[in-house]
Structure 1
Amino acid sequence: MPSLLSLVEMNAATLAVSLAVFLLAGFVKGVIGLGLPTVAIGLLSLVMSPVQAAALLILPSMVTNGWQLATGGALPMLAKRLWALLAGVVIGTLAGAGFMRADGGRHAIVVLGVALMLYALAGLAAWTPTVPSRHERWWSPLIGLLTGLVTAATGVFVIPVVPYLQALGLPRDQLIQALGLSFTVSTLALAVNLGQAGAFSAGVGWASLMVLLPALLGMAIGSRVRARVRAATFRRCFFIGLLLLGLHLAWHLLDLLEATR
């Protein structure tokens, strides 16, 4: 009878780290409503390749974002308004198939580090751009395409779609549902990429199912903490942590430069 570790294709240390990371990532999402893929991919990339990290993310992301998507009654309106954005996400993600596997994932780690730094700096600066509704038909497909390409390369789908959706001036409940819609579509497109590349094996599927449990537990704890901690304080700490993590991951750029000499 196969052991648990052989079933999930991991050693004990990697499995323990993965469970802890998804507990933390779920906690962050429970408190501020986003951040599960950002935290999970960012931290897991320190101990495994971006491809492996992205494959683990699929089930936790689908379940948590599916729940977020189902919250509220504005889905038909949002789907009609954001269809060009979502189409761009799918096209960009599928067009970028193979980006994450290039060069053993080293370039993807650097891209991920830069993306995390940009996201963190925008959050710390409280950058609040606005997009007039008349410009959405031009910006939506472009932002979707860029988000898809970043997703294909890193497994993280918050840049630049999160700042863009915030810039649309949606009411809070609609913004949360719009984020859930975008993240769900991104997860599905990423799953197609990983499946075509053979990165989502049965063992990875079992591991993804296992890390779903701590992700849900973390969300439940985070939701309780949200009512007791000032959101602004937690968001500031969160973005500082992402900035440091991004700097660490982008440090791999020096290795890439050395390798090309």
Structure 2
Amino acid sequence: MTSPAAARVAVIALTFLIAGIVKGVTGMGLPTVAMGVLGTLMLPAQAASLLILPSFITNVWQLLAGPGVVALVRRFWPMMAGIAIGTVAAASFIAGSGGVWAVAGLGAALTLYAASGLLSWRFFVSPRHERRLSPVIGLATGLVTGGTGVFVVPAVPYLQALNLKKEDLVQALGLSFTVSTVALAIGLARESAFAIDDIAGSLLAVVPALLGMWLGQRIRGRISPATFRRWFFICMLALGLQLLLRRFI
């Protein structure tokens, strides 16, 4: 392996190790961290193709960690349908037609997500509005996912606004991210931006992601979650602004 190739593999492995640690501590953040870091080094479509398998495996792990999977699927299937439709429909943007604007979109999504976390924006959605809002939020999340590779906006703030129990929220996030990952893979494959040859690279990223997730779960009981989340959002804000400003500088 040549030196540049070895350096690339090392950077990808380190990125997914860190992303896995973040997910292990917070229950989310693997695709966000991976897209944020790798988006500074390669095209968003290339970064998205690398995160398919690590994201899918870690999110299925998170989804199946509790007993309420069937109930969550029944409750949130309209949102999941919206995510799938929006992601597949918008995947052409990240796969090539968006060009540098896909990088700017990724930066904007990361910046918005980080700002909402640092400012502790909190919303409350009444259960009577959930049936109408869920498919809309799902579609919006899908469009952002297909355009940037980031799964969190606006799905995460919306799920948090439903005032779910902690275990249900973690599983609901796992469900949302799993559907987003599968839909993104389908959308990229439809645009010829993800193929069998890309699976090898994505598979190599699984090991550091799982190791990082395991380490993150160990770390979670030893540090203040609030402190960890604050620094996580600060890092995401810096990455988001760097990607966003790259388009205009």
TM-score bin (small chain):
over 0.9
Q: CA deviation at 1:172?
A: 0.2
Tell me if 1:45 matches 2:39: yes
Match of 1:238 in 2: 232
Match of 2:77 in 1: 83
SS at match of 2:247: helix
Match of 2:128 in 1: 134
Tell me if 1:164 matches 2:158: yes
Within a 5 Å distance, the mapping from 1:102-251 to structure 2 comes to 102-103=96-97, 105-251=99-245
Q: CA deviation at 1:95?
A: 1.4
Q: CA deviation at 1:208?
A: 0.7
* 1:113/1:248 contact within 8 Å kept: yes
1:226-260 deviation digits (Å, cap 9, x = unpaired): 110000000000001111110000012315xxxxx
What is the aligned length?
A: 248
* 1:51/1:105 contact within 8 Å kept: no
TM-score, with length taken from structure 2 = 0.96
1:137-180 deviation digits (Å, cap 9, x = unpaired): 11111110010000101111110000000000100000000000
SS at match of 2:205: helix
For 1:105 and 1:154, locate their aligned partners in 2 and report how far apart those are by CA, in whole Å: 11
* 1:86/1:182 contact within 8 Å kept: yes
1:69-106 deviation digits (Å, cap 9, x = unpaired): 10111111111111111111011111113111335631
For 2:100 and 2:56, locate their aligned partners in 1 and report how far apart those are by CA, in whole Å: 26
Question: Which runs of at least 4 in structure 1 moved beyond 4 Å after TM superposition?
Answer: none
Cα 1:143–1:104 change in 2 (3 A) is: closer
For 1:151 and 1:229, locate their aligned partners in 2 and report how far apart those are by CA, in whole Å: 31
For 1:204 and 1:86, locate their aligned partners in 2 and report how far apart those are by CA, in whole Å: 26
For 1:14 and 1:104, locate their aligned partners in 2 and report how far apart those are by CA, in whole Å: 25
For 2:206 and 2:86, locate their aligned partners in 1 and report how far apart those are by CA, in whole Å: 27
Which of the residues 85, 93, 101 maps onto 1:99?
A: 93
Letter in 1 for 2:149: G
* 1:106/1:252 contact within 8 Å kept: no
Q: CA deviation at 1:12?
A: 2.2
SS at match of 1:99: helix
* 1:50/1:105 contact within 8 Å kept: no
SS at match of 2:80: helix
Which shifted more, 200-209 or 131-140?
200-209
Gaps of 5+ in 1: 256-261
For 1:66 and 1:128, locate their aligned partners in 2 and report how far apart those are by CA, in whole Å: 27
Which shifted more, 101-110 or 119-128?
101-110
SS at match of 2:99: helix
How many percent of aligned residue pairs carry the same amino acid?
A: 54
Cα 1:104–1:137 change in 2 (3 A) is: closer
SS at match of 1:117: helix
Letter in 2 for 1:249: L
* 2:95/2:188 contact within 8 Å kept: no
TM-score, with length taken from structure 1 = 0.92
Report the structure number with the largest CA radius of gyration: 1
